[in-house]
Amino acid sequence: MTFVDWAQIISAGAAAVAAGVSAYSVRLVLKQLKYQFSPNLRIADEVFQIAMHESALKDIFWEQPSEAAKYLNGGSTEYQFHMRNTGAGSAHDLSIETVLDLEEIYRQIHEIFENIGERLEVIQDNWGAQIKANGKTVGGFRNPNQSSAYIDYIKPSTDDLVTVPFIIDPTLAFACLALGYRAMKQKIDEDVTPTASTINVSFLISYTDPIGKKLTKRCEHQISVCDGRWADDLSDGVIVISFRKR
């Protein structure tokens, strides 16, 4: 083999090595860019204040408290959760599924109605399960595969300022009303400090990242009845609901 042949082989080998290094560098840069421009999604902590009175359970959904009952700076009366993005990448086609222990929630609600002397029954329908007390609908559970909220798009950010609201699942809203009702009855009827009531809830967030990859993230939260005040005749009042990451 001549010197020229060896030179060509060495030259070809060097080119192959250079190409490999170049490809690796490109992959590394793309990986770094993907990390830098990925969304970082989370659900914001919230505090809500909600009307609570004798007929509050039959309202089914959260209502704003009266001005007389409302706490000053006691919590929001805009009843929505908020998705936050603190990453430098956007997210598209978000689906937020609410995951609850329905069996445990129903057990607590059944106990609450039993203690106030109302007969509880569950009627299954396409929406989910209606809960009736003495023949009147007072709330219900959505079917698990239908308990989702949707967000089309959330833009990138590097702080907590980018938020998009989404609906609170009706099952969770009704369960909180029931716990608030129990707290009110304990305070008025028994004159005792209400026992702490909590519900653990998970959110499965499915979304598409900026390069079209479909991803899923799970967020664990706890919602609790943490305060309240009421008129002696139960005609007016308010409960405070705290929603926190756990």
Which of 111-115, 116-120, 223-227 is most confident? 223-227
- Say if residue 28 is in the same domain as residue 149: no
Both 48 and 26 in one domain: the answer is no
Same domain, 106 and 28: no
Residue with the larger pLDDT of the pair 169 and 194: 169
pLDDT for res 22: 58
Number of structural domains found in the chain: 2
Kindly report, residue by residue over 162-173, the tens digit of the pLDDT.
899 999 988 888
Same-domain pairing of 31 and 49: no
* pLDDT score for 28: 46
Q: Is the pTM of this model over 0.85?
A: no
126 with 31, same domain: the answer is no
- List pLDDT tens digits, range 195-244: 778 899 999 999 999 989 999 999 999 999 878 888 888 889 999 999 99
Structural domain for 188, as ranges:
41-245
180 vs 207 pLDDT, higher one: 207
Are residues 51 and 8 part of one domain? Answer: no
pLDDT range class, residue 160, cuts 50, 70, 90: low
Same structural domain, 160 and 200: yes
3-state secondary structure labels for all residues of the chain: CCHHHHHHHHHHHHHHHHHHHHHHHHHHHHHHHHHHCCCCEEECCEEEEEECCCCHHHHCCCCCCCCCCCCCCCCECCCCEEEEECCCCCEEEEEEEEEECHHHHHHHHHHHHHHCCCCEEEEECCCEEEEEECCEEEEEEECHHHCEEEEEEECCCCCCCCEEEECCCHHHHHHHHHHHHHHHHHHHHHCCCCCCEEEEEEEEEEEECCCCCEEEEEEEEEEEEEEEEECCCCCCEEEEEEEEEC
Domain check: are 154 and 78 in the same one?
Answer: yes
Question: Given a cut of 80, is residue 51 above it in pLDDT?
Answer: yes
116 & 213 share domain: yes
Same-domain check for residues 10 and 60: no
Give yes or no: residues 210 and 123 share one domain. yes
Same domain, 70 and 107: yes
Reported confidence tier of residue 60, pLDDT bands at 50, 70, 90: low
